[in-house]
């Protein structure tokens, strides 16, 4: 048996038990893929980040949902570096982080805000029937068509691929009753990790968007506050010229209120980056059985 330090760090918030909880294993050296997957299933949050040494960067991060490995996770990155900064492992500085999508920069500011630089984004319109998307979300198609005249359904990707769905009003976004099987079929068809729905009708005056994200194919029925999705939607808004005046220096995105985990993501362009604060909610140890020889060979 091996014992590893394991934390739950709540990202995109400075209040414990809000925002998006991430599992963090700050020293995962020696953990193979099968055991990382088992740990993620045990911690049972949307994603768990595992910190490994890297031969090409300052750190290597791998991310697992309870059911599968994902290439990149914004909130788990913010949570990991928020913890490393709080623990004195890193200083306020910029670090090269090896991920499955390549080496990305992560910047830690003096106040504990963590910024993740994302890949150069791509945005491509998709041809899906509004009736079908609305049925998957359990809302009236008119709530999508109302916005769709100016902002179409599209795939936005900056390391993680999302189906971006604009909704006219917060009331309708809040009334979403997702058919997770139908959403999974939609995201599989367009090869997206999740469906990211948003509205300009935000709760707070200083926020530009309110969002919800569903990724059942990745084992995430609804993600409370999604960092890579925030980057994707910011790239989408920039691509389609969504703001009548000059694009804002920073887009503030609310999320998580409808699952009782409110949080806020900050997003910027040129380069595309997402950021926020985090707070440690749980710090302990986890006993992990040793891997067998077949697991070591497959890792």
How many CB atoms are closer than 10 A to CB 2? 12
Q: What angle do CA 95, 69, 192 make, to 5 degrees?
A: 95
Do 233 and 275 contact (CB within 8 A), yes or no? Answer: no
Q: DSSP code of 93? A: S
Neighbours of 139 (CB within 10 A): 22
Annotated catalytic residue within 15, 34, 47, 191: 47
CA–CA dist 277, 164 (Å, integer): 25
Measured at the CA of 31, the angle between CA 44 and CA 85, to 5 degrees, comes to: 70
Task: Assess whether 47 carries a catalytic annotation.
Answer: yes
Q: Which of 188, 120, 127 is nearest to 154 (CA)?
A: 127
Structure tokens at 73: 């996770």
For residues 163-172, one letter each, b for 16 or more C-beta atoms within 10 angstroms of the residue's C-beta and e for the rest, the string is bbbbbbebeb
DSSP state of 28: -
Task: Decide the pairing of beta strands 161-166 and 194-199.
Answer: parallel
Per-residue HEC secondary structure of 231-268 comes to HHHHHHHHHCCCCCCCCCCCEEEEECHHHCCCEEEEEE
Give residue for tokens 């150069």: 120
* Active-site annotation, residues: 47
């Amino acid at each position: 048996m091996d014992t590893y330090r394991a934390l739950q760090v709540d990202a995109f918030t400075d209040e414990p038990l809000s925002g998006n909880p991430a599992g963090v294993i700050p020293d995962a050296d020696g953990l193979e893929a099968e055991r990382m997957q088992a740990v993620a299933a045990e911690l049972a949050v949307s994603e768990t980040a595992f910190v490994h040494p890297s031969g090409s960067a300052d750190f290597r991060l791998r991310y697992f949902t309870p059911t599968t490995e994902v290439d990149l996770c914004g909130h788990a990155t913010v949570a990991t570096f928020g913890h490393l900064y709080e623990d004195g492992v890193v200083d306020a500085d910029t670090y090269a982080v090896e991920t499955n999508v390549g080496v990305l920069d992560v910047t830690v500011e003096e106040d504990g805000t963590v910024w993740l630089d994302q890949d150069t984004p791509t945005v491509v319109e998709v041809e899906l029937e509004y009736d079908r998307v609305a049925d998957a979300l359990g809302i009236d198609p008119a709530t999508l068509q109302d916005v769709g005249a100016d902002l179409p359904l599209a795939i936005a990707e900056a390391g993680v691929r999302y189906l971006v769905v604009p909704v006219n009003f917060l009331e309708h976004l809040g009334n979403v009753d997702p058919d997770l099987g139908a959403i999974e079929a939609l995201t599989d068809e367009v090869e997206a990790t999740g469906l990211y729905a948003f509205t300009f009708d935000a709760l707070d005056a200083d926020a530009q968007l309110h969002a919800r994200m569903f990724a059942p194919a990745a084992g995430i029925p609804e993600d409370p506050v999604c960092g890579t999705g925030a980057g994707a939607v910011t790239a989408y808004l920039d691509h389609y010229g969504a703001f009548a005046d000059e694009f804002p220096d920073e887009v503030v995105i609310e999320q998580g209120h409808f699952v009782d985990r409110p949080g806020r993501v900050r997003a910027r362009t040129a380069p595309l980056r997402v950021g926020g604060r985090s707070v440690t909610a749980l710090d302990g140890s986890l006993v992990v059985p040793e891997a067998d020889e077949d697991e070591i060979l497959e890792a």
